[in-house]
Amino acid sequence: MVKMRYIVPCVVEDLNRKMVFIGGPRQVGKTTLAKALLEKYFPGGRYFNWDFDEDRQDILKKRWIEECPLLIFDEFHKYPHWKQWIKGIYDVLGEKHRILVTGSARLDVYKRGGDSLLGRYHYWRLHPFSLDERPAGMSSAEAFRRLMTVGGFPEPFLDGDERAARRWRRERFDRIIREDIRDLEQIRNIQLLGLMIDLLRKRVGSPVVFSNIAEDLHVANKTVKNWLEILERMYLVFSVRPFSKSIPRAILKPPKVYFFDNGDVIGDEGARFENLVASSLLKRLHFLEDREGFRYELRYIKDKEHREVDFAVLKDGILEELIEVKYGDKNISKSLRYYAEKLRPARVTQIVATLRNSFDEKGITVVSPEEYLRIKD
């Protein structure tokens, strides 16, 4: 049996103060989480799904019992005037009901009509399973195997079958492109967008130059940039941009693009492992940001001398940690040594997928993913 997802205690606490919005990728478990809240914490609450005709009519007509302890509005971002509508409900009925809103698109950035909701809600981002969030009874070795082969989304991760995972992934891509993006964005050539996703799947770990993608697709650079922003809003991919402070010869423009679903990556085990670390780091930073209120950023370093460090973690603009990712090489990266000495962050880490025993060397910690990605506060 899978335990409650990692954000549940924080969501329950926040519901007693304000509305709570939960964003995250399609099929990451938002609906399951919402229904579990009703069962365990708020019996008698009401779940509404905007995609279901009867629920949609009940939402618009405000049909629910007066004593309802929790109102859940699932996929509500698909309603063009959702912000104005939910603001009115909260301002009038906020003292009577707790309110939870979920959606596959970024609820914090879609600004489709209505007044600002600033100060009325807390926002949480739900991520797939990871090494620091796995079902009881599953070993870290088995969790790592599944994350590297089928990815961390609940259905394929818990099933563990690679063939079934490939079918699930194809169907998920189709729904995102032909339903979610079609409903929320104005894109004329959906087929070309699908081809762009395929190109990105093969470029994980490398800076993505928009002009190269544009040339391959025969579209404008601006189109590629806009499409990437849409894919980020849909929680299909996320960008890691270069860190340039105190690095005079840093390369400034090209981002790296990673996938929320590790199974989406087309490439060798090194690319999949780098994506796994990137998605796990982002999950941890999003949790800390949503819980503590600090601003966290995930960046990378690359200069014109081709010295590169895979990840740099910033907290409120201050560099906290440098992280290099290797699949099998436990020898410390020369670039990591160089920037560790030059930038002197609080922590310097090299994560090695196949490492058995962690060790420290001249202020740099070389560690296995199981140890580094274990649960931390």
Residue 1 lies in a domain: no
User: Total domain count for the chain?
Assistant: 2
Q: Are residues 211 and 346 in the same domain?
A: yes
Give tens-digit pLDDT for 50-93: 999 999 999 999 999 999 999 999 988 888 889 889 999 999 99
Query: Please, which pLDDT band fits residue 103 given cuts at 50, 70 and 90?
Result: confident
Q: Are residues 364 and 330 in the same domain?
A: yes
Strand boundaries in 34-120, DSSP class E: 46-49, 70-74, 98-103
pLDDT for the residue numbered 299: 96
Q: Are residues 106 and 182 in the same domain?
A: no
pLDDT for the residue numbered 252: 65
Q: Name the amino acid, one letter, at 367.
A: V
Query: Please, which pLDDT band fits residue 251 given cuts at 50, 70 and 90?
Result: low
* CA torsion angle 159 279 204 368 (round to 10): -90
Does 183 have pLDDT greater than 80? no
Q: Are residues 121 and 146 in the same domain?
A: no
Q: Is 251 helix (H, G, I), strand (E, B) or coil?
A: coil
Q: 60-79 burial by CB neighbour count: b if 16+ within 10 A, else e?
A: eeeeeeeeebbbbbbbbbbb
- Pick from 377, 135, 354: which is nearest to 368 by CA? 354
Q: Are residues 80 and 212 in the same domain?
A: no
User: What whole-number distance in Å separates Cα of residue 366 and Cα of residue 324?
Assistant: 9
Does 111 have pLDDT greater than 90? no
Give tens-digit pLDDT for 288-346: 999 999 999 999 999 888 899 999 999 999 999 999 999 999 999 999 999 999 999 99
Q: What is the pTM of this model?
A: 0.92
* CA torsion angle 158 372 315 263 (round to 10): -30
User: What whole-number distance in Å separates Cα of residue 203 and Cα of residue 200?
Assistant: 5
The Cβ of residue 321 has, within 10 Å, a number of other Cβ atoms equal to 15
In terms of Cβ atoms closer than 10 Å to its own Cβ (0-12, 13-18, 19+), residue 233 is buried
Q: Are residues 274 and 192 in the same domain?
A: yes
Please list the alpha-helical segments (H only) found in 77-220.
82-93, 140-149, 154-159, 162-175, 181-184, 190-201, 210-217
Residue 77 lies in a domain: yes
pLDDT for the residue numbered 113: 45
User: What whole-number distance in Å separates Cα of residue 136 and Cα of residue 227?
Assistant: 39
pLDDT for the residue numbered 185: 64
CATH number at residue 54: 3.40.50.300
Q: Is 362 helix (H, G, I), strand (E, B) or coil?
A: coil
Q: Are residues 117 and 144 in the same domain?
A: no
Q: Is 160 helix (H, G, I), strand (E, B) or coil?
A: coil
Query: Residue 291: which domain range?
Result: 140-372
pLDDT for the residue numbered 357: 92
Q: 324 with 349: CB under 8 angstroms?
A: yes
Residue 133 lies in a domain: no
Q: Are residues 97 and 145 in the same domain?
A: no
Does 47 have pLDDT greater than 60? yes
Quickly tell me which residue has 């205690």 as its tokens.
Answer: 9
